[in-house]
Chain A
Amino acid sequence: MCDNLISNIGLEVHAELSTDTKIFCSCKNEFGASPNTNVCPICLGLHGALPTLNEKTLQYAIKMGLALNCSINSRSEMARKNYFYPDLPKGYQISQAEKPICENGYLEFLSEGKVKRVNIERIHIEEDAGKLIHSEGKEQSTYIDYNRCGVPLIEIVTRPDIESPRQAKDFLETIKSILSYLEICDCKMQEGSIRCDVNVSVHKDGEPLGTRVEMKNVNSFSGVFSAIEFEQHRQFEILKAGGTISQETRRWNDAQGRSEVLRTKENANDYRYFPEPDIPPILLNYDYLNSITIDKSALPNLKAINYYLNLGLSQTDAVFIASDNELKQFFDLCNGIKQDYSNTTAKWIMTDILKHLNKNRLALSQTELTPEYLIELISLIEEGTVSSTGARKIFEAIIANDSLSPHELAEKLGLIQISDNSFLENLADDVIEKNEKSVTDYKNGKDNALGFLIGQCMKKSKGRANPALISNILISKLNK
């Protein structure tokens, strides 16, 4: 974007955990209930009420820590983050400060055609705040819904290792796919299940990191992309003009596509963190930690890297298939039957299969299509038994819930190509005899005449002639 200027981007990703109940009380953790119905003295922060700790929250955070290669702290500590805001009933948020539950990990994922590694500083658990609802019109009231208070969150904090808006977006997509794979977050962006703060700094190559600017309130991945682009540009322009970047917090306005200053360094919040006296340190013993496991080999980011590097799938296909549990499993099974077809398998998944599933709002498991059938179908094409057009007809029959195998269907539907040499020779002779004009055209150098002649052969054989073979036979006959 600008010569010898380098961006360093760090992200703080907040993900709401999909536990049944809240983090410090037994109120339901659900989105969309009537305002202030899922509340109790604890999550309303009434004086005298004390927090307990939902063990599921720890489990989920540890799972994410394992997925992001973090070390899990056998002793972690809750801390109070103090600030005043009407949606924060206690005047402090219970979070973690010096001793988070997970630390020092990394995430590898595909971005811009390469395997990118971003270091993870920490993952900590904390409670969500309520929601302000501003009434429209001249009344100008603000209502507060405390249902979201105490919904468990994990905050994933990266090192400033991300270099471009594209990488940031790919990082977030990867985080989302992992949360979804681990089934610890419902990942509904429109409900605010995943939210993000973005830190951007710019420096000249060879110089130390620049001044960090934080952007809050970025609620979509495309917003993150635009916010970083905007901020990079703003900082580049300042530096090019010989100015200095001031440390500040900005608010991203997605509608206007720009950010504005929220707080400067001088009036930055001092959160006065200190250990939460109502919750003793969290001690996790060896047995407990061992009881929480994840299947690392099935992690979508690692799958995608494998598909891309070892199977030669395109980045888009690799990431897409790896991010969808069902597609991923299906693809892996196909691959287990015949790895040579992995690229063709991916193409089928990304085109015909997805189109059909999306159109009919179906899951793969709701169709008759099995990995065995897809591989058999692909074999039929590869071996020249059916044409690709024929294969598509077979595919449609399978997903229309015909229980016959692809080969049986090919026979039933009369789609088996004829590769018998004498039949094809006779066919070619017949067509050449009846289309003198095209033969002349061909000999005069009109290449599309060949296409016409092949078409005639196909028509005569009702589409069953092997197109590659008939084409070769025609050429050799015409060139005689």
Chain B
Amino acid sequence: MNNTNLTAYEARKLLKSKEVSSAELTTKALRQITENNEKLNFAISIELDYALKMAESFDKTACKGVELNSIQGLPIAVKDNICTVFSKTTCASRMLKGYVSPYNATVIDKLSDSIITAKLNMDEFAMGSTTETSYFGAVKNPHDIEKSPGGSSGGCAAAVAVTDALMTLGSDTGGSIRLPAAHCGVVGLKPTYGSVSRYGLIAFASSLDQIGPICKSVKDTAMLYDAICGHDKRDLTSIGREYPSALKCLTGNIRGLKIGVPDEYFTSDINEDVKTAIFKTLTTLEKLGAELIPISLKHAQYALSAYYIISSAEASSNLSRFDGVRYGYRRDDNSSIEELFVNSRTEGFGDEVKRRILLGTFVLSEGYYDKYYLKAKQTAQLIKSDFQNAFSAIDVIATPVSFNTAPKLNQKRSPVSVYSEDFCTVSANLCGIPAISVPCGFDKDSMPIGIQFMADSFREDLLLNTAYAVETELNLFQWARRESYVR
């Protein structure tokens, strides 16, 4: 197999025509993952034996004339907060170091014919925007190892960028799929809330979390989304409806598409290179027949505060189960049950996780619930109606993913300044709508820039097609295919 920087979509064609076997694809992916991981630290567990065995057994059944569809036989890697029985699921926390789940997440069951190769590094419990809060160390950006890949699914974005035919599953609570995708020059889709089952995803903020694909190309992204979406009766927030194939909607034709451009997302905080790249992209789309319409989302400025209150509140409750009693990290020499709770949690969680638990506990406390949690929920409702109103007149909304390109690692920054990275992404989670990040250019240091599109619920087709037009027209993808990124 001589192809380099192969997309999953291309690999699938080769697999179908029997030009390549699953074992060959998997072997190559595993080799790249293992080699690059030494420099980039994007994987927590690499399942060499398991993946090869699965690929070989796939090849055997495939030979007997199994109809190849979907993403069978292709290498996949998943964020380490998605439960798997065949590999550890650590959530990048000391709390769950070595933990093996007794059950598979629904998305893992749905990918049973794909080859899961690795569990990927992330911010601890998905809390962070740089992948620096991982107990297993920060992930490095393949475009510049001094820089962060973004977070919290930084491991996914980094792995995808440097591994042939690899597709990954990340999770997105406030931008955790889109931000690393933008910083690493790959595609990331946060699907509509309720379109992908959360069963088996270690919850950070249950009302905002959503699993989604991070892949090399828009086609790969659509392919993986098609494979994982759908109703799951084990998740009461999962929505039962038709899920037409997103891949089949990729025409690149966006004639007549109404693109809303909200003022509020182009403030003075935005980096000039980012701004230029985004507007250049929008102009390109206009040339393709799309209509640019200035809009206003007037509560956008409150989204970040509402998001951090709601997500921390839910997190404080979701993470209560890690108490050292049944499993996970436990300090043993305690004189009381209270000490066991306190010591195990103090030592098992990292600083950022503890900060969110404290914040969340505070905003739910008696006397503060109405002032913070309830207000945040009401604010989210206002933001939602802003978006609903906007979607009555336009098809998609275009914004930056982040005001900046990838930040340097190991900066001493205040938590609030780190939280501000999520300004552009959190609204989609608060509204439950789908959003995609697709590469649209580079800054003066050749670091990738992403553009974000948001659409109304279950309009993944619109998002992916718009992103496909960007990808095809800007032809950035060729750049992303250069021999080696790792400097």
Question: Which residues of A line the B interface, CB within 8 A?
Answer: 41, 44-53, 80, 82, 84, 86, 89-92, 144, 270, 272-274, 277-280
Asked if B364 contacts A48 (CB within 8 A), the reply is no
Task: Please provide the chain B residues from 313 to 351 with a CB less than 8 Å away from any CB of chain A in the complex.
Answer: 313-314, 316-323, 325-326, 337-338, 341
- Are the C-beta atoms of A280 and B237 separated by less than 8 Å? yes
Interface centre among A52, A84, A86, A89 (most CB of B within 10 A): A84
The 15 listed contacts between A and B (C-beta, < 8 Å) are: A41-B102, A47-B91, A47-B203, A47-B321, A48-B82, A48-B202, A50-B198, A51-B236, A84-B341, A86-B323, A89-B326, A272-B366, A274-B313, A277-B206, A277-B237
Interchain nearest-CB distance for A14 vs B (Å): 22
Q: Complex formed: what's the CA distance from A44 to B102 in Å?
A: 12
Given contact pairs A82-B320, A279-B236, A48 touches B105 in the complex (Cβ within 8 A): yes
Contacts of A279 in B (CB 8 A): 236
B200-212, CB under 8 A of A: which get 1 and which 0?
A: 1111011100000
- Asked if B202 contacts A50 (CB within 8 A), the reply is no
Asked if A272 and B317 make an inter-chain contact with CB atoms under 8 angstroms apart, the answer reads yes
Q: Which residue of chain B has the shortest Cβ distance to A272 in the bound complex?
A: B364
Contact of B202 with A274 in the complex, beta carbons under 8 Å: no
A325 to B414, CA, bound (A): 69
Q: Is the CB of A53 within 8 A of B236?
A: yes
B362's nearest neighbour on chain A, judged by CB, is A272
A144 contacts across to B, CB distance below 8 A: 325-326
CA distance A417 to B167 in the complex (A): 99
Instruction: Determine if B203 and A272 form an interchain contact, defined as CB atoms under 8 angstroms apart.
Output: no
Q: Are B321 and A89 neighbours in the complex by a CB distance under 8 Å? A: yes
Determine whether the beta carbon of A52 is less than 8 Å from that of B234.
yes
**The residue from B102, B199, B365 contacting A270, defined by CB atoms under 8 A apart:** B365
CA distance A82 to B318 in the complex (A): 10
**Complex contact A50–B234 (CB within 8 A):** yes
Q: Nearest-CB distance from B459 to chain A (Å)?
A: 21
Q: Indicate if the CB atoms of A52 and B207 lie closer than 8 Å.
A: no
Instruction: With A46-B103, A49-B103 given, name 4 new contacts (CB 8 A).
Output: A50-B236, A84-B341, A91-B319, A278-B236
**In the complex, are the beta carbons of A270 and B366 less than 8 A apart?**
yes
Given contacts A90-B321, A91-B317, A280-B236, contact A274 B83 (CB under 8 A): no
Question: Is B235 located at the chain interface by the 8 A CB criterion?
Answer: yes
Shortest CB distance A97–B (Å) = 11
Q: How far is the CB of A262 from chain B (nearest CB, A)?
A: 14
Q: Measured between alpha carbons, how far is A50 from B233 in the docked complex, in Å?
A: 10
Query: CB within 8 A of A45: which of B82, B321, B338?
Result: B321
B361 contacts the other chain (CB 8 A): yes
Contacts of B199 in A (CB 8 A): 48-50
**In the assembly, what is the distance between CA of A53 and CA of B203, in Å?**
19
B 103-131 contacts with A by CB, 8 A: 103, 105
* Residue with the highest number of chain B CB atoms closer than 10 Å, among A41, A47, A80, A278: A47
Partner of A41 from B103, B206, B318 at Cβ < 8 Å:
B103
Indicate whether B101 reaches chain A with its CB closer than 8 angstroms: yes
Partner of A82, one of B207, B233, B317: B317
Contacts of A273 in B (CB 8 A): 364, 369
Answer whether A90 and B320 are a contact pair too, CB < 8 Å, given A46-B102, A280-B237.
yes
Report B322 CB to chain A, min CB distance, Å.
Answer: 8
For A92, the chain B residues whose CB sits under 8 A away are 317, 320
Q: Does B458 contact A (CB under 8 A)?
A: no
Interface residue B373 (Cβ < 8 Å from any Cβ of A): yes
List chain A residues, Cβ under 8 A from B325.
86, 89, 144
Q: How far is the CA of A280 from the CA of B207 in the complex (A)?
A: 10
B217 to nearest A CB, angstroms? Answer: 29
A44 — nearest CB in chain B belongs to which residue?
A: B326
Residue of A nearest to B341 (CB): A84
Q: Are B320 and A84 in contact (CB under 8 A)?
A: yes
CB-CB < 8 A to A86: which residues of B?
323, 325, 337
Q: What B residues does A274 contact at CB under 8 A?
A: 313-314, 317, 364, 369, 373
From A49, A52, A84, A270, contact of B200 by CB (8 A):
A49
The answer to whether A91 and B321 have CB atoms under 8 Å apart is yes
Q: Give CA–CA (A205, B394) in the complex, Å.
A: 68
Query: Inside 8 A of B102's CB, which chain A residues have their CB?
Result: 41, 46
List the 7 closest A-B pairs by CB distance, nearest first.
Answer: A91-B320, A272-B364, A277-B206, A277-B207, A48-B200, A47-B202, A48-B83
Q: How far does the Cβ of B346 sit from chain A's closest Cβ, in whole Å?
A: 13
Q: Once bound together, how far apart are the Cα atoms of A365 and B322, in whole Å? A: 55
- CB pair A50 B320 closer than 8 Å: no
Taking CB atoms, residues of chain A closer than 8 Å to B338 are 84
Q: Considering the chains assembled together, what is the distance between the CA atoms of A352 and B364 in angstroms?
A: 61
B101 touches A82 (CB 8 A): no
- CA–CA, A462 and B80, complex, Å: 95
- Inside 8 A of B364's CB, which chain A residues have their CB? 82, 272-274
B279-319 CB contacts (< 8 Å) to partner A: 313-314, 316-319
* Residues of A with C-beta under 8 A to B316: 82, 272
Q: Which residue of A lies closest to B236 (CB)?
A: A279
With a CB–CB cut-off of 8 A, which chain A residues contact B361? 272
Which residues of the partner chain B approach A46 to less than 8 Å between Cβ atoms?
101-103, 321
Interfacial residues of chain B within 34-80, with CB under 8 A of chain A in the complex: none
- Chain B positions within 8 Å of A44 at CB level: 326
- Chain B nearest CB: distance from A410 CB in Å? 67
